[in-house]
């Protein structure tokens, strides 16, 4: 069985304990930073709402952002590498 490590994460004002593969921890932390930064952004833009509203707004933003990308699971580096390969193939054809 795969070894999972415990990670404490914070979304908005709540702490959660999850288990993840060690190799995925960095991706999880980057995603959490993006989510929490967006919560702060929405709190600034839409004052007077509660945390659940902000988290819902971020969830909608994140889902829309991911579906707008051609390949949402790819990192920027992988996307750039694939674009270079595609350009090289176009030149050869």
Convert the pLDDT of each residue in 76-87 to its tens digit: 666 666 667 666
Q: Answer yes or no: are the C-beta atoms of 64 and 40 closer than 8 Å.
A: no
CA distance 18 to 16: 6
Q: What is the dihedral of CA 90, 71, 81, 77, to 10 degrees?
A: 160
- This prediction has a pTM of 0.66
Mean pLDDT value of segment 16-35: 92
């Amino acid at each position: 069985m795969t070894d999972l490590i415990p990670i404490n994460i914070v979304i908005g004002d709540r702490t959660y304990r999850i288990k993840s593969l060690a190799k995925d921890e960095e991706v999880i932390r980057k995603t959490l930073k993006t989510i929490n930064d967006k919560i702060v952004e929405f709190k600034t833009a839409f004052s007077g709402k509660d945390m659940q509203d902000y988290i819902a707004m971020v969830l909608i933003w994140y889902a829309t952002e991911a579906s707008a990308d051609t390949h949402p699971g790819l990192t920027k580096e992988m996307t750039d590498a694939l674009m270079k390969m595609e350009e090289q193939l176009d030149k050869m054809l």
